[in-house]
């Protein structure tokens, strides 16, 4: 049986639920009310120890002092999703891209934009894997599993939007 470790971390966007595998690699970061977000399951073990780096980096990010997370991740997705998630990881702090730009970065056709959106929506690492930096082609604040209010808050924190 696979061990899932978990902890909760307070943040300006709500209590964050972090999970890790037995090695301590971060497997998910969910926010309250997140579409398809994780919830604590029977058999999971609460242990804040493996999450110290994540807690420190999240605190520094929310304080405006950290622009790039340096955490070990262990996520499982299809080859397509992994490509999309890797493209998300390359979007710099304070910048945005469109779904079409992510499709182009991974070599997918324009017709794949919907599939790209689905992969972004399935991102298990909100905040640290910056899916909040993806906007609609017309600049609109579209689709964020953690809720549009949180997306706006994160983009404001990063200086992309004005407070």
- Residue positions annotated with a catalytic role: 131
Q: Which two tokens stand for residue 123?
A: 């991102």
Supply the DSSP symbol for 104: H
Angle, in degrees to the nearest 10, between helices 113-121 and 79-89: 80
Supply the DSSP symbol for 25: -
Enumerate residues 6+ apart whose C-beta is below 8 A from 33: 14, 146, 147
Enumerate residues 6+ apart whose C-beta is below 8 A from 20: 4, 5, 6, 26, 27, 50, 51, 74
């Amino acid at each position: 049986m696979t061990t899932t470790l978990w902890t909760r971390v307070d943040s300006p966007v709500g209590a964050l639920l972090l999970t890790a595998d037995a090695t301590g690699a971060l497997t998910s970061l969910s926010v309250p009310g997140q579409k398809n977000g994780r919830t604590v399951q029977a058999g999971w073990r609460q242990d804040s120890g493996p999450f110290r780096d994540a807690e420190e980096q999240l605190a520094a990010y929310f304080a405006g002092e950290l622009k790039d997370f340096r955490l070990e991740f262990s996520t499982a997705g299809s080859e397509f999703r992994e490509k999309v998630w890797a493209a998300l990881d390359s979007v710099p702090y304070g910048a945005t891209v469109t779904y079409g730009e992510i499709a182009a970065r991974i070599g997918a056709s324009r017709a794949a934009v919907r599939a790209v959106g689905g992969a972004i929506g399935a991102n298990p690492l909100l905040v640290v894997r910056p899916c909040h930096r993806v906007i609609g082609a017309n600049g609109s604040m579209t689709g964020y599993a953690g809720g549009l209010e949180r997306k706006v808050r994160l983009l404001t924190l990063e200086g992309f939007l004005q407070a």
